[in-house]
Amino acid sequence: MTQLDHTDHPADTEPRTPGTDPLTLVVGVHLVLVNDGAVLLGRRANTSYASGLWHLPAGHMERGEPVTRSMTREAEEELGITIAEDELALVHTLHHLDADDGRSRLQLFFRPARYDGRVRNAEPDKCEELRWWPLDRLPDHIVPYTAHALGEISRGNPLSTVGWPA
By the 8 A CB rule, do 27 and 60 touch? Answer: yes
Beta sheet of 26-31, edge-to-edge order? 58-60, 26-31, 104-112, 88-97, 159-162
Q: Flag whether 71 is in a domain.
A: yes
pLDDT of residue 101: 85
Q: How many domains does the chain have?
A: 1
- Give CA separation, 116 vs 34, 53, 57, 61, 152, in Å: 15, 27, 16, 22, 27
Which parts of the chain have pLDDT scores under 50? Answer: 1-16
Radius of gyration of the chain measured on its C-alpha atoms: 18
By the 8 A CB rule, do 32 and 39 touch? Answer: yes
CA dihedral 14, 18, 22, 23 (to 10 degrees): 160
pLDDT of residue 166: 80
Q: List pLDDT tens digits, range 33-52.
A: 999 999 999 999 988 888 89
Cross-strand bridge partners of residue 38: 35, 134
The pTM of the full predicted model, rounded to 2 decimals, is: 0.86
- What CATH number is attached to the domain comprising 44? 3.90.79.10
By the 8 A CB rule, do 32 and 91 touch? Answer: yes
Q: Flag whether 134 is in a domain.
A: yes
Among positive and negative, which fits the CA dihedral 89, 41, 73, 63? Answer: positive
Q: Flag whether 10 is in a domain.
A: no
Domain that holds residue 31: 24-162
Other CB atoms within a 10 A radius of the CB of residue 96 amount to 22
pLDDT of residue 36: 96
Q: Flag whether 15 is in a domain.
A: no
Q: Flag whether 6 is in a domain.
A: no
Q: Flag whether 78 is in a domain.
A: yes
Q: Flag whether 110 is in a domain.
A: yes
Q: Flag whether 12 is in a domain.
A: no
Report strand pairing: 10-12 vs 2-4: antiparallel
